Chains A and B, each alone.
Chain A
Amino acid sequence: AQSVTQLDSQVPVFEEAPVELRCNYSSSVSVYLFWYVQYPNQGLQLLLKYLSGSTLVKGINGFEAEFNKSQTSFHLRKPSVHISDTAEYFCAVSLGSGGYQKVTFGTGTKLQVIP
């Protein structure tokens, strides 16, 4: 069975500072990795995903993430955050199981951008 660990439940950061949100996963088979963002009172929306190829993937709103197979990590980064980035971020792993997609989410990291 696969699992996802998000090490930080809350991350406060000043506006225009860089940020890294950490995600580690475990799985006995190859997985696809995703980051979703949830703004207050809204559903989740896709930020970026890693399927294969280059280990550095770029997403919307200036976010990027790096897949590290040896460390089983998929950390999310942004070089300069904005107030509008205040939201909760979820890391997720997806694999095929019995012919269908199985997606497991982490517990989330709340990013609080301080003016």
Chain B
Amino acid sequence: EAGVAQSPRYKIIEKRQSVAFWCNPISGHATLYWYQQILGQGPKLLIQFQNNGVVDDSQLPKDRFSAERLKGVDSTLKIQPAKLEDSAVYLCASSFRGAPSGELFFGEGSRLTVL
């Protein structure tokens, strides 16, 4: 079974530029998450999708971050314009039904450096 795929693995940009990250979850998984992991901190949920609908984006900085999940499969997270404090690893995860007892499956992450 293929795992969660993310790209790119690494990205370096200058502040005020834009960047996009792509995630392909495990086939059949209804729930998709984007987490931000800043160095030395735990993952922080940015946005959570159930199929192609947003169920939680309370911590997403909507003035610069956007995300979509077309057709309930792949997802894209965009940052425009980027700030220095956006330097982090962006983790995509998926789960089968989004049940509270369910395991999250993570991709390897996309490491963003903003100069």
Residues of A within 8 A of B43 (CB): 44, 90, 105
Interface of B with A (CB < 8 Å)?
4, 31, 33, 35, 40-45, 48, 50, 55-56, 91, 93, 95, 98-104, 106-109
Which stretch, A12-20, A45-53, A62-70, A76-84, touches the partner chain B?
A45-53
**Residues on the B chain within 8 Å of A108, using CB:** 40-42
Chain A contacts to B: CB under 8 angstroms = 4, 6, 9, 31-32, 34, 36, 41-46, 49, 51, 90, 94-96, 98-108
In the A-B complex, the 4 residue pairs with the smallest Cβ-Cβ separation, listed nearest first, are A43-B106, A105-B42, A96-B100, A101-B98
Query: Apart from A4-B42, A43-B107, A101-B31, what 6 extra A-B contacts exist at CB < 8 Å?
Result: A31-B100, A32-B101, A94-B101, A101-B98, A102-B56, A105-B42
**8 A-B pairs (CB sep. < 8 Å):** A36-B104, A42-B108, A49-B101, A49-B103, A51-B101, A90-B42, A103-B33, A107-B42
> B48 contacts which chain A residues (CB < 8 A)?
100
CB distance from B61 to the nearest CB of A (A): 19
User: Given that A43-B107, A100-B50 are contacting pairs, would A94 and B100 also be in contact in the complex, using a CB cutoff of 8 Å?
Assistant: yes
Tell me, rounded to whole Å, the shortest Cβ–Cβ distance linking A95 to chain B: 5
Q: Give Cα A45–Cα B106 distance, bound, in whole angstroms.
A: 7
Given A94, A96, A99, A107, which contacts B41 in the complex, CB threshold below 8 Å?
Answer: A107
Q: A41-B108, A44-B43, A108-B42 are in contact. Are A100 and B103 (CB under 8 A)?
A: no
Q: A44, B91: Cβ atoms under 8 Å? A: yes
Residue of B nearest to A6 (CB): B42
Chain B residues with Cβ below 8 Å from A103 are 33, 45, 104
* Assembly CA distance A34 to B40 (angstroms): 20
Q: Which residues of B contact A90 (CB under 8 A)?
A: 42-43
In the bound complex, residues from chain B placing their C-beta under 8 Å from that of A9 are 40
Nearest-neighbor residue (CB-CB) of B6 within chain A: A43
Decide: B42 and A43 in contact? CB cutoff 8 A.
Answer: no
Residue of chain A at shortest CB distance from B4: A43
Which of A36, A44, A100 has a CB less than 8 Å from the CB of B31? Answer: A100
Flag if B41 contacts A44 (CB, 8 Å).
no
Give chain B nearest CB distance to A83 CB in angstroms. Answer: 22
